[in-house]
Structure 1
Amino acid sequence: MLYKGNIELSTKKISAIVSFLMLLSVALGIFLGSWFVNAHNGSVAFAGVVFDTLYPSPEAILNKKATNIVNRMNYREKLGQMVMIGVQGTEVNSVDEQMLSQYHIGNIILFDRNIKSWEQTTKLVADLQKVAREKGGQPVPLLVAIDEEGGRVVRGKDVIEPPPAQKSIGETNNPANAEELARKTGKNLQALGINVNFAPVADVAYNVSRDFSGDYDKATSFVKAAARGYSSVQEIFTLKHFPGIGRGTVDSHKDVSSIDVSLEELRQTDLKPFQAVIDENKNHNFFIMISHLKYPQLDKDNTASQSYNIMTNLLRHDMGFNGLVITDDMAMGAVSKYGSFNHTGVNAVKAGADIVLICHEHSHQVEIYNGLVAAYEAGELDKNKIDASVRRIVKAKLRLNTLIQ
């Protein structure tokens, strides 16, 4: 027994010594790294690298997972992740299966035509996810979106309890009401499997029911509150319609409206709600939807959804947004009247869109996807930027904690 006890004691001593030496080596590495940095004018953050390697942050782990998933995708699968389409019926059909498998479409938007009952809608969403996983081989779940703003812009109001119009919420003068209604709406959508809401509207206008207020500061406080409500229940929200369409005079469904205002004025007015939410939400786990209006002092030739200066220079670089950028529906007259779907989708991606939205006609959806594929194969699309967009999409899906195994 004494012999056995000595062995056990020796083993414990050895373990203790090994643990001590490991801790000592880490401490020494950090000390030497810090000394090296100080000795070399801070040119290399060696200590930080050592620490991050040993103790990676949740965000670093998420980035690594997303990168590994994207690296395993071929370019057709990546481009499919960059398109969001509408489906036609209340159950999955052969066309839907083709879009999710052959075209690798990674995102769906629902309309009234898809929503007849709670059980039916839940099954539709679950079946779409199953097809994407099992027949499409998609490694991450679909983003399933809806326009549940409130007031006159709601879907499936006989099934989903519709929130009131944003204007009526603003008239309460209590942003907490916007937060609570967003939380309630988000929970309802989550229960159906809908993980993205295209709300709140961040535009500012007088006498428009879709906007919280005609006062820029008041609208900003309500938009921020709604964003907090959705975030609290992990529903991905969407600020729309960047860079603000409150001044528009023409319905984008029909044609282009031009807003002739300087960037300096926009910063003090229409951009305030967008910038406030960007600044308040550090991980930027939300969408910003880009309008089809023209802002000639920002880009004299292109609508916002086709403009590099607006999407990339302004939104990404100047305002610091690192989340998901999605276009408004590309079938709207403001875009579709002035170019083919093959080209407008490509232009949107070149300008900085992560996801191209095409809601209704199957033929238009195919044109958008095939246009992207052709442009990629011709070398017109920057492969690194495509990978960056798909990583953002995959990260958003991983954050939902519903990763398809």
Structure 2
Amino acid sequence: MMKWKKSLALLTAALCFLSLGCGSSAQQSAAPKEKTLDEQVDEIVDSMTTTEKVGQMVMIGIQGTEVSDDSLYMLHQYHMGGVILFDRNMKSAEQTQKLISDLQGQAEQKVPLFIGVDEEGGPVVRGKDFIKPPASEQAIGQTGKVPRAEESARQTGEQLKKLGFNVNFAPVADVGNYKRSFSPDAEQAAKFVQAATQGYEEAHMMYALKHFPGIGRGTVDSHDDISAINASKEDLLAKDIVPFKSIIEQRQPEDYFILVSHLKYPALDAQNPASLSKAIQTDFLRGELGYHGLIITDDVEMGALAKHYSFRELGVRAVEAGSDIVLVCHEYPHETDVYLGLLDAVNDGTIPMERINESVHRIVKAKLLHTKS
């Protein structure tokens, strides 16, 4: 009897060993569980210092056509998380490609940089000597052929991708009768914006809908000064916001930015421009419209803000309103002030770390999805 039991035990052990289904052998041979995207994001965010997190929330312009001590200082000392290039930085395809590669290679950050450009088409294009300029949105819209918007965006995205860009600050989603808008008709404009976003996604290019909640009715250029759009909330929802809302409902939030304007919309916030308005960014855009992606300000050096607020104050107010990234396009001292103002506000508790982590999580997630070569 004992002999039989011993034989059975040996047989069971042998079968267990062969199937790797028992004991520590099975556990040791199991492959490590692959981390989810959110787990990877959490790990990166948790590893960041406060200075690194704040830097991710500022996107800057640089000077010159090659990496310099000044631009590297901004990336190393302040950990700026993104760079937008202008014609002052772009002289040829080879030079632009090298500049972007050098910026990415020398940034020494835990995630890649967002490298963006304004390549809308028509009156707003960069690098005309080596990037085929897209037609204006108005010209595309006037053809009545919606697929033209998809084709133009895809071709533009593919050109930019080859140079190393990962963000295009387009399409303009404003409703209006001017060159930067597809149509003065809200539903028609929405159809063309939808097609353009499809084109950018086909090119694997992040894009930015601008200028929320819409500047098509504006009469003063935000580069010069602040102005107001005195339309009711119902009117804004029925017209200006239609293209934005259609994308929010159809597209994945990690695939694009929404860029907020510097205009005032008294029906939504009687006091503050959209870029500094919690009522517009957090309560309306996130709360009512259900947007969960990245919010970026328009350039805070524009007269609409710069004439009325200090740069140390601007970044703080934008982030308190709900912005994830503050865009500062030109002067290093202004960019430094925005960063230091934010850092001080975090260190003294004016902006809770929870609020910073919320934005940095969104930023890092988008970067992991869209900044790989």
TM-score by length of 1: 0.85
RMSD between aligned alpha carbons? 2.0
Q: 1:16 offset after TM fit, Å?
A: 4.8
- Measured in 2, the distance between the counterparts of 1:17 and 1:334 equals 68
Q: 1:267 offset after TM fit, Å?
A: 1.2
The alignment partner of 1:398 has SS state of helix
**Contact 1:290–1:305 at 8 Å: present in 2 too?**
yes
Counterpart in the other structure of 2:191 = 221
The alignment status of 1:75 with 2:45, answered yes or no, reads no
**Contact 2:301–2:329 at 8 Å: present in 1 too?**
yes
Q: 1:18 offset after TM fit, Å?
A: 3.0
**Contact 2:173–2:209 at 8 Å: present in 1 too?**
yes
- Measured in 2, the distance between the counterparts of 1:304 and 1:255 equals 14
* 1:113-163: CA deviation from partner (whole Å, max 9, x where unpaired): 011011100000011111112xxxx11100000000000100111121110
- Measured in 2, the distance between the counterparts of 1:327 and 1:185 equals 23
- Measured in 1, the distance between the counterparts of 2:362 and 2:92 equals 33
The alignment status of 1:262 with 2:232, answered yes or no, reads yes
**Contact 2:120–2:170 at 8 Å: present in 1 too?**
yes
| Matched ranges for 1:345-384 at <5 A | 345-384=315-354
The alignment status of 1:62 with 2:37, answered yes or no, reads yes
**After the TM superposition, which parts of structure 1 deviate over 6 Å for at least 4 consecutive aligned residues?**
7-10
- Tell me which of 257, 266, 276 is aligned to 2:246: 276
* 1:282-336: CA deviation from partner (whole Å, max 9, x where unpaired): 3442000000000011111100000000000011111111111000000011111
Counterpart in the other structure of 1:25 = none
- Measured in 2, the distance between the counterparts of 1:274 and 1:55 equals 39
The alignment partner of 2:220 has SS state of coil
- Measured in 2, the distance between the counterparts of 1:355 and 1:151 equals 26
The alignment status of 1:144 with 2:141, answered yes or no, reads no
**Contact 1:278–1:284 at 8 Å: present in 2 too?**
no
The alignment partner of 1:322 has SS state of coil
| Matched ranges for 1:175-254 at <5 A | 175-206=146-177, 208-254=178-224
Q: Which amino acid aligns with 1:18?
A: G
The alignment status of 1:155 with 2:126, answered yes or no, reads yes
- Measured in 1, the distance between the counterparts of 2:150 and 2:225 equals 34
- Tell me which of 18, 23, 26 is aligned to 2:21: 18
Counterpart in the other structure of 1:107 = 82
The one of the two structures with greater contact order (alpha-carbon pairs below 8 A, sep at least 6) is 2
Q: Which amino acid aligns with 2:358?
A: A
- Where do 5+ consecutive residues of structure 1 fail to align? 1-6, 20-53
- Tell me which of 246, 249, 268 is aligned to 1:298: 268
* 1:92-128: CA deviation from partner (whole Å, max 9, x where unpaired): 1100010000011010000000110111000000111
Q: 1:172 offset after TM fit, Å?
A: 1.3
Q: Which moved more, 1:293-302 or 1:258-267?
A: 258-267
- Measured in 2, the distance between the counterparts of 1:13 and 1:394 equals 44
Using a 3 Å threshold, how does the CA distance of structure 1 residues 211 and 11 change in structure 2: closer, same or farther?
Answer: farther
- Measured in 2, the distance between the counterparts of 1:245 and 1:176 equals 25
Counterpart in the other structure of 2:26 = none
| Matched ranges for 1:88-127 at <5 A | 88-127=63-102
Using a 3 Å threshold, how does the CA distance of structure 1 residues 321 and 258 change in structure 2: closer, same or farther?
Answer: same
Percent identity, please.
Answer: 50
- Measured in 2, the distance between the counterparts of 1:77 and 1:263 equals 38
TM-score by length of 2: 0.92
